[in-house]
Structure 1
Amino acid sequence: MILFGTGGIRGIMREGEFDEKTVAVASKGVAEYMKMNGLKRVLIAYDTRNNSEKFAKLSASVFSGEGMEVYVFGEPVPTPVLSYGVRKLGMDMGVVITASHNPPEYNGYKVYTSNGVQAVPEVTDVLTELVKQAWNQPINAVEKYTVVPREVLDEYISDVAKVVNADLKGLKVVYSPLHGTGAKFVPKLLRMLGAEVIEVTEQIEHNGNFPTVKTPNPEDDRALELLRKYMEKHNVDLGLATDPDADRVGVVIKDVRLTGNQVGVLLSKMLIDSYLESGRNKGMLVKTIVTTDMVRPMCEESGIQLFEVPTGFKFIGDLVERHKELDFVFGFEESCGYLTGDLARDKDAVLACGLVAKAAVNFDLLDRMEELYKKCGYYLEKLINFEFKSVNQTLDVYEKLKQTKAKDVKEVIDYSRGYNGVIPNDTLRLEFDSGRIFVRPSGTEPKMKAYVMVKADTKEHAISNLEQLENKIKNIVNEILAC
């Protein structure tokens, strides 16, 4: 089980891993943190997964038993609604029970601070110790909490509509929540803005088993099979699918699935142009280090300050909060997470659906992408997943990559030592003449991710470079394993 990793506590729902004791002990630890810091009010949300509501109410009872003032949403809501609620209702902390886009046997526990940002390491390092201490302490649970009024959810949708600020009349959209929380939010938002929404009926119902998809991850083509069938059946160009906690969105346009990077580039361009038209000149855009560099020339040309952070959207939200002297234009990560405005401080797929729909009304997404490639260069990216026999083997390969003398590797940058103002984190960057490869180990699973990134003047050249670098990193890893 992952204890306060990139996405909070997460594990398989089974005894001794992610179970009732895990939730109770985590809540006791967070309550102790609140007492230490003079905090009182906590807001709890949950998604459509099996046991999420039960875990949320158990968590509420533990917080109440520790003397906290506890508020709980009365139905499953998107994770960004928790962030929104913490900010809007003046909460001291927030908790959401979700395992995001993981398989159905998983669940998880995310913690948020009063600014609506998922807790960053300086907080989770303390929480980890407090949760460990709470493991053998008595837990006093009292079933006492206040249900958040339904009006707050309606206000969220209205507020998001104002941020999107679009007339979607004439637009047809096929939408799927993949059995998740987006079902009661995305269609309502898009219709409020004037779009005609065709729902993937089989996937509208809340169902933690996700019975109609091979995976509830909208980054994966297998999650979008029914969406594509509906698009073909109804002759609709735009399809949107959100993950179970509605913080990521997959986009299909004319049977082409746009990558998270491509959607981020298109939205960046649209929002930068809109910002410049407003006459302001203190804008900032934030991305993770493993996200496309294609926005770099766009920011340079427009005078927008570009910031980079480690993997994890919490670092984007945290940086935005630390730079209130600047106007937050947009934040995104390659794994289909997007945010603008001041409503929430975590990635918001409800908002992102509205933004993508707005873009689709204003221009042809594929044509605009090609225009930007011709102007900025063909930036292409590919994620490669490595699996090993054990966590130790993973970490051993990662350590040896730091010292690699492999041919064509010009430089190895170790972000754990701090680099270019980015918060230190476990990421390597291997520089080549034809591009760069970022490498991240899991640390808790026998897995490692390699993000291959290239830029070239033509699409053919970029594809060739991408294939070459993919082969190079596979060969480097295989040579390490063979030693």
Structure 2
Amino acid sequence: MVKFNVTRKETSPIDGQKPGTSGLRKKVKVFKQPNYLQNFVQSTFNALTPEKVKGATLVVSGDGRYYSKDAIQIIIKMAAANGVRRVWVGQHGLLSTPAVSAVIRERVGADGSKATGAFILTASHNPGGPHEDFGIKYNMENGGPAPEGITDKIFENTKTIKEYLVAEDLPDVDISTIGVTSFGGAEGQFDVDVFDSASDYVKLMKSIFDFESIKKLLSSPKFTFCYDALHGVAGAYAKRIFVEELGAPESSLLNCVPKEDFGGGHPDPNLTYAKELVARMGLGKTPSQDEPPEFGAAADGDADRNMVLGKRFFVTPSDSVAIIAANAVESIPYFSSGLKGVARFDIVLLRSMPTSAALDVVAKHLNLKFFEVPTGWKFFGNLMDAGLCSVCGEESFGTGSDHIREKDGIWAVLAWLSILAYKNKENLNGDQLVTVEDIVRKHWETYGRHYYTRYDYENVDAGAAKELMAHLVKLQSSIPDVNKLVKEIHSDVSNVASADEFEYKDPVDGSISKHQGIRYLFEDGSRLVS
């Protein structure tokens, strides 16, 4: 057994290491600065209670973007030096963000160990490569992102850090081969367990959905399917689930080989960046010569976001989560027992504040509890842990449930396939299947249609953006002046009824999150959110 020593390395604070809603994201060249990653990792260890570090089990993996493999080796050596007992790494360093959450919650080591947290190496839907983005975030023992109380401590630690601990003489671990590598240190044995990236997650999905019914749908000659991983980590799961488990032809998979630079593309599952899928589904600028598939979906870099498409038809993220919620009980076994009789009133629907009100209407129609939370999955997690939430979603292509504590892109795709399988269970050999478009239009007939548009402004001047946001807040002091301005833009627009900066009080722990977005609420129920 290789022995290692602990070295205390002097360092000093580095500006700008405040975690956002999904951790710390910067350009690769920033992370490669001396001590940049080390400062953040040590500040995280210092923010945790001793029992979450000493003798603990940590997961370290990510979406496989550029610099991930180097970062994994650095974190392993720092974990060993800080007294961590074992580190679990997905093979090749690959684990989707939802799979990390599932591993924390579900996986049990050969010695009975359970993970107490995870470093996830991802910048989500941001581009990857030597000149692009890298990111790191810490997830807690519930599988969800660290709450603001922890991220605030991490940030404060980055401003005062003087040293970090590292086992410099620990050799790099081969993360391409499944197995356990053991080392010896002053505090005892330290293990690195490289495991199959997909097995735990696939097992969880099979416990939630009726794979046999989905398999029958995919085997129907009238149903065609296409899935685009955009060269992100979802590719590590797509073949296992859609091809090997559900029987879809391998030709239905697009860009499912994970790449460090996502193939030079932008791994954001929307109509702009998922160009190949959009064209195949008949929604491109140039009409496809081939008949589009009946169903298509895409994932982002770390596989927690999703886009759902029908033949020549786009499903907005806000509609998607509402439709899943409206059909969950009859279509998805995971929800069937929990929604029998009065038990259904224990189910709660949630959406982030910027998401359209489509989910609100479903909750009201089905007499379900409902919460509106700020952007960031950590706000959903608290409610889930308290047994107050089952289905949730956000406008930025994020959808999920309480099976884990992260949004889950593949889960959302399987949920849609479950709904389609249920709607077509008596009609797989009929003349015409119930389509994605049919389901969406039927939903609009029942619940009404919510028009929604999101505009993303990238690489704008930070100072000018702050000035704009400050101006929008200032305007809220005089609603009559705002309405005058609105009428000058378009006379038919409804008047503004109220305006505020969204503030959220967590019903579980009473914590208050301020400045969570600027809202203008119109008399006709429409909203403008910044």
TM interval, short-chain normalised: 0.7 to 0.9
- 2:448 — aligned with what? 377
- Provide the TM-score with structure 1 as the length reference: 0.82
Question: Counterpart of 1:45 in 2: which secondary structure?
Answer: strand
Q: 1:138 to 1:385 in 2, by over 3 A?
A: closer
Q: 1:257 to 1:230 in 2, by over 3 A?
A: closer
- 1:443 — aligned with what? none
How many Å separate the matches in 2 of 1:339 and 1:419?
A: 19
- 2:118 — aligned with what? 94
- 1:228 — aligned with what? 279
Q: From 119, 127, 143, give the equivalent of 1:103.
A: 127
How many Å separate the matches in 2 of 1:348 and 1:211?
A: 22
Q: 1:170 to 1:300 in 2, by over 3 A?
A: closer
- 1:5 — aligned with what? 20
Question: Counterpart of 1:383 in 2: which secondary structure?
Answer: coil
Q: From 15, 26, 31, give the equivalent of 2:45.
A: 31
How many Å separate the matches in 2 of 1:19 and 1:255?
A: 46
- Tell whether the 8 Å contact from 1:47 to 1:53 is kept in structure 2 after alignment: no
Query: Which segments of 5 or more consecutive residues in structure 1 lack a partner in the other structure?
Result: 440-449, 451-483
- 1:446 — aligned with what? none
- 2:408 — aligned with what? 348
- 2:201 — aligned with what? 156
- 2:163 — aligned with what? 137
Q: Which structure features the higher share of helix residues?
A: 1
- Tell whether the 8 Å contact from 2:53 to 2:82 is kept in structure 1 after alignment: no
Query: What is the CA deviation profile of residues 404-455 of structure 1, one whole-angstrom value per residue up to 9, with x for unaligned ones?
Result: 131233311222486999843431210223444343xxxxxxxxxx3xxxxx
Deviation at 1:350, TM superposition (A): 2.1
Query: What is the CA deviation profile of residues 15-44 of structure 1, one whole-angstrom value per residue up to 9, with x for unaligned ones?
Result: x45656322111111121235565432211
How many Å separate the matches in 1 of 2:456 and 2:47?
A: 36
- Provide the TM-score with structure 2 as the length reference: 0.75
Query: How large is the Cα RMSD of the aligned pairs?
Result: 2.8
- 1:427 — aligned with what? 517
Q: Check if 1:410 corresponds to 2:497.
A: yes
Deviation at 1:190, TM superposition (A): 2.7
The alignment covers a number of residue pairs equal to 433
Q: Check if 1:240 corresponds to 2:297.
A: yes
Deviation at 1:73, TM superposition (A): 2.2
Q: From 268, 286, 292, give the equivalent of 2:356.
A: 292
Deviation at 1:272, TM superposition (A): 4.6
- Tell whether the 8 Å contact from 2:384 to 2:390 is kept in structure 1 after alignment: no
Query: What is the CA deviation profile of residues 320-356 of structure 1, one whole-angstrom value per residue up to 9, with x for unaligned ones?
Result: 11x22x4x431111111121243x2101112222112
Q: More deviation in 218-227 or 46-55?
A: 218-227
Q: Check if 1:208 corresponds to 2:255.
A: no
Query: What is the CA deviation profile of residues 208-233 of structure 1, one whole-angstrom value per residue up to 9, with x for unaligned ones?
Result: 222363x2100243323246338864
Question: Counterpart of 1:222 in 2: which secondary structure?
Answer: coil
Superposition pairs of residues 253-332 of structure 1, within 5 angstroms: 253-273=310-330, 275=335, 278-279=340-341, 280-281=343-344, 282-321=346-385, 323-324=386-387, 326=388, 328-332=389-393
Question: Counterpart of 1:59 in 2: which secondary structure?
Answer: helix
- Tell whether the 8 Å contact from 1:237 to 1:253 is kept in structure 2 after alignment: yes
Query: What is the CA deviation profile of residues 333-389 of structure 1, one whole-angstrom value per residue up to 9, with x for unaligned ones?
Result: 1111121243x2101112222112212223332122112212222211111245796
Report the AA paired with residue 514 of structure 2. P
How many Å separate the matches in 2 of 1:186 and 1:229?
A: 18
Report the AA paired with residue 409 of structure 1. V
Deviation at 1:267, TM superposition (A): 0.9
Q: 1:32 to 1:177 in 2, by over 3 A?
A: same
Deviation at 1:200, TM superposition (A): 6.1
Q: More deviation in 105-114 or 240-249?
A: 240-249
Question: Counterpart of 2:482 in 1: which secondary structure?
Answer: coil
- Tell whether the 8 Å contact from 1:31 to 1:68 is kept in structure 2 after alignment: no
How many Å separate the matches in 2 of 1:417 and 1:400?
A: 22
Query: Which segments of 5 or more consecutive residues in structure 2 lack a partner in the other structure?
Result: 1-15, 108-113, 171-182, 184-189, 219-223, 283-287, 424-434, 476-480, 484-494
